[in-house]
Chain A
Amino acid sequence: MADQAPSSTNGFVISEHTLANGLRVVLSEDHLTPVAAVCLWYDVGSRHEVKGRTGLAHLFEHLMFQGSASVPGNGHFELVQGAGGSLNGTTSFERTNYFETMPAHQVELALWLEADRMGSLLSALDLAGLDNQRAVVKNERRQRYDNVPYGTAFERLVAMAFPEGHPYHHTPIGSMADLDAATLADAQDFFRTYYAPNNAVLSVVGDIDPEQTLAWIEKYFGSIPSHDGKRPPRDGSTIDRDGSAPMRQHLVAEVPSRALMAAYPLPLDGTRESDAADLALTILGSGESSRLYNRLVRHDRSAVGAGFGLLRLSGAPSLGWLDAKTSGDATIEAVEAAVDEELARFAAEGPTDAELERAQAQIEREWLDRLDTVHGRADELCRYAVLFGDPKLLNPALAKVLDVTAEEVRAVAARYLTPDNRAVLTYEPLAPTDADADETEGSNA
């Protein structure tokens, strides 16, 4: 077959501007479809939260949809959806983002709305709104974590990987007790501390006239005062352990099968070593030709599914995420021994040329997927601007991954994917599901 090499490294045209109040603006024009995305990243996430107030950044994100000086109650939703747009916001360890995708002729409305809440949220914020969204967020926590099997695995592993005192020790959803404890004054203080034009990046991508768009941004955002109230997060770039906190937890819980999960601290996102780690995890644990799938699912038949994910973090070690659910009567010990054997073999031998080529092709497709929509591009531009200081890093990003060598992939695995560099969580189902329960556990590895 004579398929040509992919031409996905074409650059996007990107321009950057900074308003007098410090708001950084990134624009990228593309007239393929008559739509435009507005994306606003505030440089605040759960890593900025303090003890006793976990979940506040995310709870606050909900409050940003409860109206502002010129926008009543649910007006942000009503106005955007009534204009044929879609919108949402999300909160992670490192940042909070708000975004609208609009038909191109409605993009000015989205800018007006974002400016209104950046400049005037506190004039609409009240205790009734806080109490309502507190209840909503508690139900979000129940629905996504507490009421589903293995639902709390994420926060348990994160808490082990980043020990007490580390800014990434707790996850963005926060604890029920801390959500209950949040006061209106906390929310107001949070806004005054972190929601300022000089702590945000605004990107607009799609069917836009950049000059006109910039004029609108100046008009709506230009008069919002900047301030320097922000408290930087504690440094999370290294993990200090005194050896007292356990790195392994075993749970007997109401789950359908045994499971082995682990989090491996990896290089910080944005580094060449981090790209190498992405390739290593892809080869080892992504897709049906990966080493772990072949070993555990196809060969040993000890797992229903097995794979690696990557939680990219720029202010703390990223986490390589192992998840294997056992099949039939297979034991955790058997699965863990097989995983360790595969990781050790990979660390010794490195990837084959074919494996590296497949991993690069997969990462390229995922990249195309992410950049396929104006929203995806707007979000990535904000990511590079907020976390790495330069939105134009978007263009060479894929080429950097494709440049990584097999030896670099092997080396990163040898250094980080080891049994002594991980937090481990294992599950045993609470009640026997069938008559096999009395049998002596055997290993089929």
Chain B
Amino acid sequence: MGIAEANVNNGVNTEALLNAREALSNAPEAAQFKWRATTTWQNGTHSRTDVQGFFGLGQEQAHKSEFTFVADHPEVFASEDNGATPAEILLAALGSCLTAGVAAVAQHRDIQLNRVKATVEGSMDIRGILGVDSDVRNGFGGIRVHYEIDADASEDDIKALVAQSQKRSAVFDALTNPTNVHVEVSRVGS
């Protein structure tokens, strides 16, 4: 087992993760999770999204507290800029998912991380979202992630951390592969 040597500490409980993997490999039902977010319109392009409960390990679960994400658009879009754009929040999700993975893989491989910084840049031709040109897609044309990592390991071992993290990342998968998205509507109020 890859239980960390005493001197490597990236703050990841590898043993618990490996035990969970072992337990869930024979209990696919318990591995079924549902992540949830609730978005409430504020005004204009400004919205607030709350995250608290999720489902997993066969029952309802809750975060220690409720987390809030504020989204808006910048003033160049004639908005109030109360928060990051949803597209930037997606980049934040990618960067944080990959970085969590880097730490977990490093711990498993007994590599001490000293400093990890990811710069995530998504390029977008906004003629798509503005409806100027129907041949231009709405989403990112491409995303580039650049990692600067200071760790007690060789360059190839550090590259392997980042490669393995991509391989096991939920958000990397969600962005690189298609997902069926179902949006339904209920009319409420009077």
Binding between chains A and B: no
B residues with a Cβ closer than 8 A to A are none
A residues with a Cβ closer than 8 A to B are none
